Amino acid sequence: EAQVTQNPRYLITVTGKKLTVTCSQNMNHEYMSWYRQDPGLGLRQIYYSMNVEVTDKGDVPEGYKVSRKEKRNFPLILESPSPNQTSLYFCASSLSWGNQETQYFGPGTRLLVL
Amino acid sequence: AQTVTQSQPEMSVQEAETVTLSCTYDTSESDYYLFWYKQPPSRQMILVIRQEAYKQQNATENRFSVNFQKAAKSFSLKISDSQLGDAAMYFCAYRTNNNDMRFGAGTRLTVKP
């Protein structure tokens, strides 16, 4: 089954404790991205990747890191999480970066930073 | 700033009736796609319908259709014969060739039996 998976689905952590949210897709998509969803703000893009070893900042990259060493994986790293990073996070992928490409979303990761 | 505005934070509709969700956007690009995504309580983001900006004909997908007014930068979603399963948060979005993908804040749709 074609899908985007994220792990963990739920995470409670404390301020400053490094964490990684994994994202994997099995559709051989070139483009992957991370979003955060907050009430009243919709989804905002954190980082995106057009292909292996090609990443760039989205609208809200502060406090996050990403890497794209393999085509299928695009982990999101919070080196020193803070309470304002409490949010619902989505990973998404599409065949390429063109505007016609539909993005397929993972199930989401709900993060609470205490 | 390039943005997407959904002016209705909440909407409700009676089962079997029709409802229209509003969306306006602002982009300086001429080549872009527009999308409506549905987010049920499971939080999964599900594509409902999409529209190419160069196409004048409004997209339709079964009970879902759009009213695309390019000059007005308006992209509303019409849901006909509403069903209980249509209850969800609906997000309007656009995507440009400059990899600019923007979402609105969402409209929460309630369907009354």
DSSP single-letter state for residue B73: T
Q: Please name the member of B45, B52, B105 whose beta carbon is closest to the beta carbon of A41.
A: B105
For A52-60, what is the mean pLDDT?
93
Instruction: Say if strands B107-112 and B10-14 run parallel, antiparallel, or are unpaired.
Output: parallel
Buried b (16+ CB within 10 A) or exposed e, A44-81: bbbbbbbeeeebeebebbeebebebeeebebbbebeeb
Two tokens at B43? Answer: 């939080």
What's the confidence (pLDDT) of residue A113?
Answer: 97
Instruction: Provide the pLDDT for residue B1.
Output: 56
- In angstroms, what separates the C-alpha of B7 from chain A's closest C-alpha? 11
Give A-chain residues touching B103 at CB under 8 angstroms.
Answer: 35, 42-44
DSSP symbol at A83: G
Q: Which residues of B touch A48 (CB under 8 A)?
A: 99
Does pLDDT of A99 surpass 80?
Answer: no
State residue A43's pLDDT score.
95
For the beta carbon of residue A28, count every other beta carbon within 10 angstroms.
10
Q: Which residues of B fall within a CB distance of 8 Å from A33?
A: 101
- The ranges of chain B with pLDDT < 50 are none
Chain B contact for A33, CB < 8 A? yes
- B97 contacts chain A (CB < 8 A): yes
pLDDT of residue B56: 85
Nearest to residue B71, comparing CAs of B20, B22, B30?
Answer: B30
Cβ atoms of residues B82 and B20 within 8 Å: no
Tell me which chain B residues have a C-beta less than 8 angstroms from the C-beta of A43.
45, 91, 93, 103
| pLDDT score of B106 | 96
Dihedral sign, Cα of residue B62, residue B30, residue A54, residue A10: negative
Q: A22 burial class (0-12, 13-18, 19+ CB within 10 angstroms)?
A: middle
Alpha carbon of A108: minimum distance to chain B alpha carbons (Å): 7
Find the range with the poorest average confidence among A78-92, A93-107, B12-26, B97-111. A93-107
Six-digit token string for A77: 């790293």
Q: Which residue has the tokens 């007005």?
A: B72
Tell me how far the alpha carbon of residue B66 is from its chain's centroid: 8
The mean per-residue pLDDT over the stretch A59-84 comes to: 97
Q: Work out the mean pLDDT of chain A and round it to a whole number.
A: 94
What is the torsional sign of CA B69, B70, B76, B79?
Answer: positive
Distance in Å, alpha carbon of A99 to nearest chain B alpha carbon: 5
pLDDT given at position B98 = 74
CA B74 – CA B66 distance, rounded (Å):
10
**DSSP sequence for A12-69:** EE-TT--EEEEEEESS--SEEEEEEEETTTEEEEEEEEEETTEEEE-S--TT-EE--S
